């Protein structure tokens, strides 16, 4: 998927990075620092949506990998259970880390989107031409509608991660406490449910990623980057 990326010179990045460390927590200064190097709220929103899509893609792959490891457990002989437990514990921790990254990226999208749309609405009042103001207002409403659909898709996919993580955690802990053939039988009985949950999660993540790409393309067209 082709995605927008903010590209700055090394010197500019270093300078901006130093400035941002000093102004963390002050949104106006944060955005002002970016604008001094030609990066505006629309650019930041597009970048954060792309990062959220990247995080979802990585999480999707991590959950698929974790499922494969859990699926392989049903053929493990009891003598290998300790190593199997350690492998599954690692898979769960990796999936949990990816899930947390997805949530953080979505939060970042929401932060900058609220500021962008607020600024856009305020600046409409500064446009003297009725025709231009009406056109810009129409673009704002269209972008808000598309964004609303995007963030719903992101949050829906996010909500599907927790049940899968809970199921993985349950199985890891059960296996930890019962390193025997009975534990394997229990894992086998739960595998179908976990497979179904992961399939739904992946479906919703892929839908969210497609919406992200469509949103990025439309925002780039509005910003003259097509």
Per-residue tokens: 226: 């097509």
Give the model confidence (pLDDT) of 15-41 as tens digits.
444 444 444 456 777 888 878 888 888
Q: Residue 6: inside a domain, yes or no? A: no
For 19-54, the DSSP string reads HHHHHTT-HHHHHHHHHHTT--HHHHHHHHHHHHHH
pLDDT (0 to 100) of residue 224: 60
Measure CA 140 to chain center.
Answer: 24
Q: Residue 16: inside a domain, yes or no? A: no
Name the E strands within the chain: none
Placement of tokens 């999208």 in the chain = 109
Placement of tokens 């990062």 in the chain = 51
pLDDT (0 to 100) of residue 92: 92
Domain containing 133 equals 40-222
Q: Residue 11: inside a domain, yes or no? A: no
Domains contained in the chain, number: 1
Per-residue tokens: 98: 């990816």
Task: Give the whole-angstrom CA distance, residue 223 versus residue 226.
Answer: 8
Q: Residue 5: inside a domain, yes or no? A: no
Per-residue tokens: 164: 């899968």
Q: Residue 85: inside a domain, yes or no? A: yes
Non-local CB neighbours of 148 within 8 Å, separated by 6+ positions: none
Task: Give the whole-angstrom CA distance, residue 187 versus residue 152.
Answer: 33
Q: Residue 91: inside a domain, yes or no? A: yes
pLDDT (0 to 100) of residue 75: 66
Q: Residue 24: inside a domain, yes or no? A: no
How many angstroms separate the first and last alpha carbons of the chain? 15
Q: Residue 35: inside a domain, yes or no? A: no
Per-residue tokens: 224: 């003259």
The pTM for the full model equals: 0.80
Give the model confidence (pLDDT) of 111-148 as tens digits.
999 999 999 999 999 999 999 999 999 999 999 999 99
């Amino acid at each position: 998927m082709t995605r927008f990326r903010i590209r700055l010179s090394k010197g500019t990045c270093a300078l901006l990075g130093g400035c941002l460390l000093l102004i963390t927590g002050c949104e106006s200064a944060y955005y002002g620092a970016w604008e001094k190097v030609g990066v505006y709220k629309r650019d930041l929103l597009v970048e954060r949506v792309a990062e959220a899509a990247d995080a979802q893609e990585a999480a999707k792959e991590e959950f698929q990998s974790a499922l494969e490891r859990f699926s392989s457990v049903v053929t493990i002989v009891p003598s290998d259970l300790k190593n199997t437990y350690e492998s599954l514990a690692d898979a769960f921790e990796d999936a949990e880390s990816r899930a947390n990254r997805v949530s953080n990226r979505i939060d970042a999208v929401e932060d900058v989107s609220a500021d962008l749309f607020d600024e856009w609405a305020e600046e409409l009042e500064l446009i003297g031409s009725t025709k231009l103001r009406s056109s810009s207002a129409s673009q704002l409403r269209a972008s808000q509608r598309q964004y609303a659909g995007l963030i719903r898709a992101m949050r829906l996919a996010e909500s599907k991660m927790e049940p899968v993580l809970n199921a993985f955690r349950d199985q890891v802990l059960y296996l930890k406490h019962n390193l025997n053939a009975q534990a394997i039988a229990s894992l086998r009985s739960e595998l179908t449910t976990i497979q179904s949950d992961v399939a739904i999660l992946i479906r919703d993540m892929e839908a969210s990623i497609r919406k992200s790409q469509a949103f990025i393309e439309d925002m780039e067209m509005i910003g003259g980057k097509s």
